[in-house]
């Protein structure tokens, strides 16, 4: 993966954050976190020069690191408070997990591709980020570690997995893109009580698909 951090990277991150503000990201804690995470270290060497463009890029194993705007939007919708327990489905490059950790969350992240899991669970601690990484099927979540205050799904689902709803704390929120292969609507599910859920929609996005099994 990446090279070291230099002052140029800091300048590029500042401009990325300015761009995200213009595109409507208002939460200062989210913008601060994106301003801190060295995104270029999460990219394949071929794409490092584009690390601070607001675009998605390939990270190997047919997967992508999400576009910064998408990361910012999902993180803003989660309404993270310090110390909250967050489950991320789709570790990918580990970038989203790093943003959540910068915001003071306790992060549990699952990846179904062994190659990505192996690379990222070794790499993140090397640059100071310590989520709990799991190799497994995100559709099932992590029942042994539930309940979670927040759940973020970073791949496109065709439906909202019942197992994930069950692992949400009362008053917890889940941010999950739901749709078909071409396009997904960002759903925010709030667990209002033990057996009541409320849902809101927040626009269209394009994710790689959430796949079944490992």
Which positions are annotated as active-site residues?
66
Does 74 interact with ligand SAH (rule: CB under 6 A)?
A: no
Q: Which of the residues 105 through 124 are near ligand SAH (CB under 6 A)?
A: 110-113, 116
- Smallest Cα–Cα separation from 19: which of 39, 4, 3? 39
* Complex with ligand SAH: residue 112 or 191, whichever CB lies closer: 112
* Complex with ligand SAH: residue 96 or 184, whichever CB lies closer: 96
Three-class DSSP category at 55: coil
Contact window for ligand SAH (CB under 6 A) among 12-20, 60-68, 100-108, 185-193:
60-68
Helix or strand holding residue 178 (H, E): strand 168-179
Smallest distance, Å, CB 196 to ligand SAH? 26
Peptide bond preceding 192: is omega within 30 degrees of 0, i.e. cis? Answer: no
Among 41, 51, 66, 107, binds ligand SAH (CB under 6 A): 66
* Complex with ligand SAH: residue 144 or 193, whichever CB lies closer: 144
- Smallest Cα–Cα separation from 133: which of 105, 167, 91? 91
Does 127 interact with ligand SAH (rule: CB under 6 A)?
A: no
Q: Which two tokens stand for residue 98?
A: 């790093």
Q: Which of the residues 160 through 189 are near ligand SAH (CB under 6 A)?
A: none
Q: Are 80 and 39 in contact (CB under 8 A)?
A: no
Q: What's the CA gap between 92 and 95, in Å, rounded? A: 8
Q: What's the CA gap between 8 and 11, in Å, rounded? A: 5
Judged by CB under 6 A, the number of residues near ligand SAH is 23
Contact window for ligand SAH (CB under 6 A) among 5-13, 20-28, 93-101, 172-180:
93-101
Does 75 interact with ligand SAH (rule: CB under 6 A)?
A: no
Among 77, 155, 176, 186, binds ligand SAH (CB under 6 A): 155
CA 180 to chain centre: 20
CA 7 to chain centre: 26
Three-class DSSP category at 96: helix
Query: Which residues would be at the binding site for ligand SAH (CB under 6 A)?
Result: 63-66, 89-90, 92-93, 95-96, 110-113, 116, 137-139, 154-155, 208, 210-211
């Amino acid at each position: 993966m990446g090279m070291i951090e230099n002052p140029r990277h800091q300048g590029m991150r500042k401009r990325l954050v300015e761009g995200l503000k213009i595109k409507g990201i208002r939460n200062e804690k989210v913008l601060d976190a994106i301003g801190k995470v060295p995104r270029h270290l999460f990219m394949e060497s071929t794409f490092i020069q584009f690390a601070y463009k607001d675009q998605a890029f390939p990270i190997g194993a047919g997967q992508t690191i999400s576009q910064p705007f998408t990361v910012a939007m999902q993180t803003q919708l989660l309404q993270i408070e310090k110390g909250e327990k967050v489950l991320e489905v789709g570790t990918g490059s580990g970038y989203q997990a790093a943003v959540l950790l910068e915001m003071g969350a306790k992060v549990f992240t699952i990846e179904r591709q062994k190659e990505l899991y192996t690379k990222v669970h070794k790499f993140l601690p090397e640059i100071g980020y310590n989520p709990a990484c799991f190799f497994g099927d995100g559709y099932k979540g992590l029942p042994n570690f539930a309940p979670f205050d927040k759940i973020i799904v970073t791949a496109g689902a065709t439906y909202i997995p019942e197992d994930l709803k069950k692992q949400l704390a009362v008053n917890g929120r889940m941010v999950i893109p739901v749709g078909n292969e071409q396009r997904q609507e960002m759903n925010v599910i709030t667990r209002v009580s033990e057996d009541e859920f409320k849902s809101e929609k927040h626009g269209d996005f394009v994710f790689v698909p959430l796949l079944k099994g490992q």
